[in-house]
């Protein structure tokens, strides 16, 4: 069962400048940074608030580290902006299967590693009214990790 909006992914050309905008404008601070080689991005997670299920809601800022990454291709086509919406779940495997059974294409056969050691998969935007949708199961200690 989906429990919260885990994060909103925002594609950007310059991660440092975008982080500074969100810090200076809204007071959001970086909770976690990493490079995800598999996804081809450098990212920053800005924690917005805690949630009833013990998780949190974030803005995920994504800068491609190579042009052929999904985010790199998306930026070339669309420019900066909202890239995807992610919903939190305790069971990414079960929820992905249940959604697949309803006729929605799930992009990964098996969930992959995401930010902060989460497990993720994506739903095809053409099956979700034009919205690239991610399902996320947070790593057990993800909320406690304030590392950069």
Task: Just list the catalytic residues.
Answer: 7, 43, 60, 84, 134
For the CA atoms of 40, 43, 49, 52, what is the dihedral angle to 10 degrees? 20
CB 115 within 8 A of CB 43: yes
Structure tokens at 27: 């007071």
Q: Is 18 left (phi over 0), alpha (psi -120 to 50) or beta?
A: alpha
């Amino acid at each position: 069962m989906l429990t919260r909006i885990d994060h909103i992914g925002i594609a950007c050309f310059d991660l440092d400048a975008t982080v500074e905008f969100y810090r200076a404008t809204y007071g959001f601070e970086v909770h976690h940074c990493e490079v995800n080689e598999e996804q081809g991005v450098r990212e920053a997670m800005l924690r917005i608030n805690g949630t009833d299920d013990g998780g949190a809601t974030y803005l995920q800022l994504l800068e491609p580290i190579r042009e052929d990454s999904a985010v790199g291709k998306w930026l070339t086509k669309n420019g900066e902006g909202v890239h995807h919406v992610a919903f939190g779940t305790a069971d990414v495997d079960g929820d992905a299967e249940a959604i697949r059974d309803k006729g929605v294409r799930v992009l990964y056969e098996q969930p992959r590693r995401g930010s902060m050691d989460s497990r993720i998969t994506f739903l095809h935007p053409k099956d979700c009214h034009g919205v690239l949708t991610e399902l996320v199961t947070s790593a057990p200690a993800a909320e406690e990790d304030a590392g950069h």
